[in-house]
Amino acid sequence: MLTRRKLLKTLSSLPVVGGLVGTGLLTPQMIQAAAETPASRNFFKELGLRTFINAAGTYTSMTGSQMPKEVLSAITFGATEYVNLDELQDKVGERIAELLDCEYATVSSGAFGAMSIGMAGVLSGMDQKIVTQLPDTTGIKNEVIIQESHNIGYSKALTNVGAKLVWVKTAKDLEKAINKNTAMLWYLNANTDQGEISREEFVALGKKHNIPTFIDCAADVPPVENLFKFTKMGFDLVAFSGGKGIRGPQSAGLLLGKRKYIEAARLHTPPRGTTIGRGMKVNKEEVLGMLVALETYLQKDHDAEWKLWEDQIKLISDSALSVDGVETEIHVPPYANHVPSLKITWNQNKVKISAKEARKQLQEGHPSIATVGGEDTIGITTWMMVPGQERIVAHRVKEVLENA
């Protein structure tokens, strides 16, 4: 048995820990020990990459969220053995369905992947011939009805696998658009209040016409209740991002809902080849990571976390307000990214800097801070920060505005 010191010495002479994984040289315990050891190499620095404080949110371009240590341990553990991929997905699907009190579930490659395989499953059912035929939808129902106000681009996940989109405005339009080629109705939770059809009404229309309904809830955790809400409301399929509020692997997601659609969706996923979903592979490490992220998230003290975010936002707001001419607004988006958020604006006659330039200075300063914003606002959230970083952000925001 290697001692921990000897192991670390061995590891430090290797390019990456992964070099030994899979050779049978490491036990899970050793890998665990290695995972808990701070990297002796700064990989980002070696690559010439600048890291930053994420005061923006869960953006794919900023590499999403950070996984808690429970998830990292699960991923590291997953790397130590082989299992059958289908059996793993079967068991994890059952476990997630139990945790979220829904009929069935599977781990997908992000919410986008969940939408693609879910759509593919609805189109094919259990018909193996159609599975290999997609995205060619000759001879099958292929129309998906969507509200015009729900068009933010992610419906590409549906057209990628062969669906044809039909746009409507009202419930009346929707019923008129239904025909023998209608395969599914798709809803974007983030734009709930921008459309004319409520979620309940949408589900009812699906049931009335016996057409499956799918809701994209990618960025709708928190609140934690949303993980249960939409399957209970009656949506046949529900997609969540794994790497946003749930803090699982950034490339993982959840597809929840009716067993018959999820089993059909699985026909499109690896290890099966010659399918539209073959490139949407989720490895065993990510499947385990997703499960443990969900368990960890469900057990969290959500009230305490919310209070922390509120306090952090107030700290940054107060700091910005100490500069003459600055105004702030604390708000919580009702749908998607439902977390305490800060908007900072200022009187350009008193604080002589554009929002764009102020954000650039935050980004280019030390440490670098990523924010969001428009023509005349700096937008900040704290949920993707490491606690404590809010003090640096509060200080830098004040400094940039004060020195303008």
Residues that bind ligand PLP (CB under 6 A): 60, 110-112, 154, 190, 216, 218-219, 241, 253
Instruction: Supply the minimum distance, in Å, between the C-beta of residue 201 and ligand PLP.
Output: 20
Distances (CA, A) of 255 to 108, 166, 278, 319: 7, 23, 16, 42
Burial of residue 260 (number of CB atoms within 10 Å: 0-12, 13-18, 19+): middle
Instruction: Supply the minimum distance, in Å, between the C-beta of residue 234 and ligand PLP.
Output: 20
Which of 262/336 has CB closer to ligand PLP?
336
Phi, psi of 17 (to 5 degrees): -55, -40
Instruction: Supply the minimum distance, in Å, between the C-beta of residue 154 and ligand PLP.
Output: 4
Which of 11/118 has CB closer to ligand PLP?
118
Distances (CA, A) of 371 to 3, 15, 210: 45, 34, 45
For residues 86 and 83, give the distance between their C-alpha atoms in angstroms, rounded to a whole number.
9
Which of 168/217 has CB closer to ligand PLP?
217
The closest of 40, 45, 32, 52 to 16, measured between CA atoms, is 40
Instruction: Give the number of residues written for the chain.
Output: 404
Which of 60/84 has CB closer to ligand PLP?
60
For residues 141 and 14, give the distance between their C-alpha atoms in angstroms, rounded to a whole number.
54
Instruction: Supply the minimum distance, in Å, between the C-beta of residue 112 and ligand PLP.
Output: 3
267 and 259 Cβ atoms separated by less than 8 Å = no
Which of 78/110 has CB closer to ligand PLP?
110
Which of 243/319 has CB closer to ligand PLP?
243
The residue nearest ligand PLP at its CB is 110
Instruction: Supply the minimum distance, in Å, between the C-beta of residue 165 and ligand PLP.
Output: 15
202 and 225 Cβ atoms separated by less than 8 Å = no
Instruction: Supply the minimum distance, in Å, between the C-beta of residue 81 and ligand PLP.
Output: 27
Instruction: Supply the minimum distance, in Å, between the C-beta of residue 118 and ligand PLP.
Output: 12
Strands 164-168 and 143-147, bridge-based pairing: parallel
Which of 206/243 has CB closer to ligand PLP?
243
Write out the H or E segment, with its range, that includes residue 240: strand 237-241
Instruction: Supply the minimum distance, in Å, between the C-beta of residue 301 and ligand PLP.
Output: 25
Instruction: Supply the minimum distance, in Å, between the C-beta of residue 216 and ligand PLP.
Output: 5
For residues 314 and 399, give the distance between their C-alpha atoms in angstroms, rounded to a whole number.
17
Which of 137/241 has CB closer to ligand PLP?
241
Burial of residue 265 (number of CB atoms within 10 Å: 0-12, 13-18, 19+): buried
Strand, coil or helix: 103: coil
For residues 172 and 179, give the distance between their C-alpha atoms in angstroms, rounded to a whole number.
14
Which of 27/60 has CB closer to ligand PLP?
60
